[in-house]
Amino acid sequence: MNTSKNIVYLYSEVMPYAIAVMRALVNDFGYKVDCICWDHNKRTPFVPVDEEGITYHKRSGFTKESIIRFIEERNPPLMYIVGRMDSLYLETVLHFKHKCHIVTGSDNQWLGTRKQKIATVLSPVLYQKYFEYFWVPGPRQYEFARRMGYPTNKIIWNHLTGDSAIFNKAYTDNMPIREIKYPHKIVFAGRFTKIKGLDILMQAFTAAKKETTNDWELLLIGSGEVPVSKESYIVVKDFMSGEAMAKESKDWGVFCLPSTREPWGVVIHEFTMAGLPIICSDSVGAADTLVINNYNGFVFKTGDVHTLKNTILKIMSMSDAELLSMGRRGHDLAQMHNPSIAAYSLVSAIR
């Protein structure tokens, strides 16, 4: 049995929630994590920094020969690869296929499209050739892995989790503030791209404001193609780190993710932990386990401006006490996931 205490990540663009799981691998198991990650064509300005037990390496600095040599020196019992998106990574895992456990993370939802049905036939070449295990966050992703021919004992759960240390603390710190005066502010945080449904959200919110007199505002946080609005009650801010959002969330009342395509959506977990009621489209994978209608939020039909407007009106008509109760219930629901559970799930591939 390989007893090396090294784990290698072959990653795309590292985000803070992934780092939280790496920290758990270090703190809970004593592993050292080497993460090779993309340093070009980044979608966000976030740049990870080395810390105790975790070292980042620029993907651009490797060739096939050097990456194989790098991994051989570490002799990891397990390698995590982000998916099929990097040909160098795929060539690398082929070299180590029978030398260590190869785990791929996937947020792909099973949608039954023609392309996916073809993939089920080609899975021995597309997936099974490279990966021993599928690591999935929810039931739609589990179904995808099963359709790709992976048996249940080769599918690992609890992939993709928010940083509980940060967002649970935000709940503890911020709920007393919300109890004094509940913030009437709906927030979106993510990339400013069409698939996030920002146009739908802005239309629905504006329509809701025109139907009733209230003090609710809409805050959009992110990077990319900045949305434009002439309305004073719609405010746009630049990308924020997870820690900054957790701190600022004391001034936020509801989180909304109106995406037209959202395989998972870690932000749902982050803001349920922080105690915010949730509005999201039914395309959001995380809604399956983290949003229950009328319990801690509302799920609306993807792309339906009218339904989203009515959902926002429902939120605007709720009392502050009702919104606080929704947030508390969501926080409790969110405790089923955390970075430590994710790390233990990943390491189960070794044990």
- Rounded to an integer, what distance in angstroms lies between the CA atom of residue 263 and that of residue 114? 18
If asked whether residues 21 and 104 sit together in one domain, one would say yes
Residue 149: name the closest of 175, 178, 128 by CA: 128
| pLDDT band per the 50, 70, 90 thresholds, residue 102 | very high
pLDDT of residue 41 exceeding 80: no
Mean pLDDT, all residues of the chain: 96
pLDDT (average), residues 20-25: 98
pLDDT (average), residues 155-171: 97
40-44, 54-58, 344-348: range with lowest mean pLDDT: 40-44
Residue 106: name the closest of 159, 69, 150, 154 by CA: 159
| pLDDT band per the 50, 70, 90 thresholds, residue 21 | very high
**Hey, what amino acid is at 291?**
V
If asked whether residues 318 and 218 sit together in one domain, one would say yes
Quote the number of domains for the chain: 2
φ, ψ at 167 (rounded to 5°): -85, -30
If asked whether residues 45 and 151 sit together in one domain, one would say yes
If asked whether residues 215 and 89 sit together in one domain, one would say no
Q: Does pTM top 0.85 for this prediction?
A: yes
pLDDT of residue 341 exceeding 90: yes
Query: How far out from the chain centre does Cα 99 lie?
Result: 30
If asked whether residues 134 and 225 sit together in one domain, one would say no
State the pLDDT at residue 2.
82
In a domain, 66, yes or no: yes
222-277 tens-digit pLDDT: 988 888 888 999 999 998 988 999 999 999 999 999 999 999 999 999 999 999 99
If asked whether residues 180 and 243 sit together in one domain, one would say yes
State the pLDDT at residue 218.
98
For the chain, what percent of residues have pLDDT higher than 70? Answer: 100
pLDDT of residue 153 exceeding 90: yes
If asked whether residues 108 and 183 sit together in one domain, one would say no
If asked whether residues 246 and 133 sit together in one domain, one would say no
Per-residue b or e along 238-266, where b marks 16 or more CB atoms closer than 10 Å to that residue's CB = ebbebeebbbbbbebbbbbbbbeebbbbb
For the chain, what percent of residues have pLDDT higher than 90? Answer: 92
pLDDT of residue 347 exceeding 90: yes
| pLDDT band per the 50, 70, 90 thresholds, residue 155 | very high
In a domain, 41, yes or no: yes
Q: What is the CATH number of the domain that holds 246?
A: 3.40.50.2000
274-300 tens-digit pLDDT: 999 999 999 999 999 999 999 999 999
In a domain, 1, yes or no: no
In a domain, 47, yes or no: yes
If asked whether residues 112 and 192 sit together in one domain, one would say no
In a domain, 116, yes or no: yes
State the pLDDT at residue 258.
98
In a domain, 78, yes or no: yes
Terminal CA-CA length for the chain: 10
φ, ψ at 35 (rounded to 5°): -115, 110
- Rounded to an integer, what distance in angstroms lies between the CA atom of residue 304 and that of residue 199? 11
pLDDT (average), residues 87-106: 96
Residue found under tokens 């929630």: 17
If asked whether residues 19 and 138 sit together in one domain, one would say yes
Helix H, strand E, coil C: the string for the chain is: CCCCCEEEEECCCCCHHHHHHHHHHHHHHCCEEEEEECCCCCCCCCCCCCECCEEEEEHHHCCHHHHHHHHHHHCCCEEEECCCCCHHHHHHHHHHCCCCEEEEECCCCCCCCHHHHHHHHHHHHHCCCCCCEEECCCHHHHHHHHHCCCCHHHEECCCCCCCHHHHHHHHHHHHHHHHHCCCCEEEEECCECHHHCHHHHHHHHHHHHHHCCCCCEEEEEECECCCCCCCCCEEEEECCCHHHHHHHHHHCCEEEECCCCECCCHHHHHHHHCCCCEEEECCECCHHHHCCECCCEEEECCCCHHHHHHHHHHHHHCCHHHHHHHHHHHHHHHCCCCHHHHHHHHHCCCC
State the pLDDT at residue 45.
76
If asked whether residues 80 and 93 sit together in one domain, one would say yes
If asked whether residues 78 and 157 sit together in one domain, one would say yes
Give the range of the structural domain holding residue 177, as residue numbers without chain letter.
164-334
131-150 tens-digit pLDDT: 999 999 999 999 999 999 99
In a domain, 250, yes or no: yes
Q: Strand order of the sheet with strand 278-281?
A: 234-238, 217-222, 185-189, 254-257, 278-281, 297-300
